[in-house]
A and B are shown apart, each in its own frame.
Chain A
Amino acid sequence: MHMALADRLTALLLFLLGLALLVGGYTMDRLEIRQIHPASIPGLVPMILGVLLALCAVLLFRSSYKSGQRNAELVLSGGSWARLGMTAGLCTVYALALVGWLPYFWATLVFTTCFTLVFSFPLDGGRRAQLIAFAGALVLGVVVSAGSSLLFRELFLVRLP
Chain B
Amino acid sequence: MSGLVDLFAGLGTLMTPAMLFHAAWATLLGIVVGSLPGLTATMGVALMTTLTYSLDSTTAIFVLICMYVGAIYGGSRSAILLNIPGTPASAATSLDGYPLARQGRAGYAMGLATAGSALGTLAGVLMLVLIAPPLAEAALNFGSFEFFWLAVFGILISGQLTADTTPLKGYIAGLLGLAVAMIGSEGIHAHVRFNLGVQDLNAGIALIPAMVGAFGFAEVLTAMWNKAGELAVKKDKSDRTIPDLADIWRYKFTIARSGVIGTIVGIIPGVGEDIGAWASYATARKTSKEKEKFGHGSHEGLIAAETGNSAVVPGSLIPAITLAVPGSASSAVLIAALFIHGIRPGPLIMIEQPHFVGLISAMVVIATIFMAFYGLTLTRAFVQVLKVPYSYLMPVVFVLCVIGTFALSQRIFDIWIMVFFGLVGFVLRQMKYPMAPLVLGIILGDLLDKSLRRGLTLSDGELAPFFTRPVSAAFVALIVLSIAMNLAPVRRVALAPFRWIGARFNA
Contact = CB atoms under 8 A, between A and B. Distances in A.
Contacts of B189: 31, 34, 36, 40, 42
A17 B172 CA distance: 12
Interface string B214-232: 0001001100111100000
Contacts of B432: 3
Given A56-B171, A79-B225, A42 B193 contact: yes
Given A44-B453, A83-B224, A112 B418 contact: no
B454 A40 contact: yes
Nearest to B451: A45
A120 B395 CA distance: 12
B171 A104 contact: no
A161 B402 CA distance: 11
Interface residues of B, number: 61
Interface stretch (B175-183, B252-260, B286-294): B175-183
Candidate in B169, B431, B461 with the most chain A CB atoms within 10 angstroms: B431
A94 B402 contact: yes
B318 interface: no
Contacts of A41: 453
A96 B221 contact: no
B431 A6 contact: yes
Contacts of B454: 40
Interface string A21-39: 1001000110100101111
A88 B172 contact: no
Given A53-B175, A156-B53, A161 B220 contact: no
A157 B191 CA distance: 33
B391 A104 contact: no
B448 A88 contact: no
Q: Is the interface of B mostly helix, strand, loop or mixed?
A: helix
Given A95-B419, A120-B392, A158 B193 contact: no
A52 B392 CA distance: 44
B54 A59 contact: no
Contact of A87 (B394, B407, B416): B394
A148 B47 CA distance: 13
Contact of B395 (A37, A42, A111): A111
Interface in A73-100: 75-76, 78-80, 83-84, 86-88, 91-92, 94-96, 99-100
Nearest to A36: B189
A148 B50 CA distance: 12
Contacts of B394: 87, 115
A75 B396 CA distance: 28
A152 B403 contact: yes
Interface in A130-161: 136, 140, 144-145, 148, 151-152, 155-161
Interface in A5-23: 6-7, 10, 14, 17, 21
B449 A45 contact: yes
B221 A88 contact: yes
B168 A63 contact: yes
A119 B400 contact: no
Contacts of B406: 99, 158, 160-161
Interface string A102-119: 001000100110011011
B175 A42 contact: no
Contact of B191 (A31, A78, A83, A119): A31
A108 B400 CA distance: 10
Contacts of B186: 42
Interface string B426-466: 00001110000000000000001100111011001100000
B410 interface: yes
A95 B418 contact: yes
Given A17-B179, A84-B224, A99 B415 contact: yes
A37 B392 CA distance: 57
A120 to B, nearest CB: 4
Interface string B47-75: 00001011000000000000000000000
Given A39-B456, A156-B54, 19 more contacts: A17-B179, A28-B191, A31-B191, A37-B460, A39-B457, A40-B457, A59-B168, A91-B217, A91-B419, A94-B398, A111-B398, A112-B396, A116-B395, A119-B224, A120-B391, A140-B395, A140-B396, A145-B399, A158-B410
14 contacts: A10-B431, A14-B172, A40-B188, A40-B456, A42-B188, A44-B452, A46-B193, A78-B226, A80-B225, A87-B224, A95-B402, A115-B395, A119-B224, A148-B400
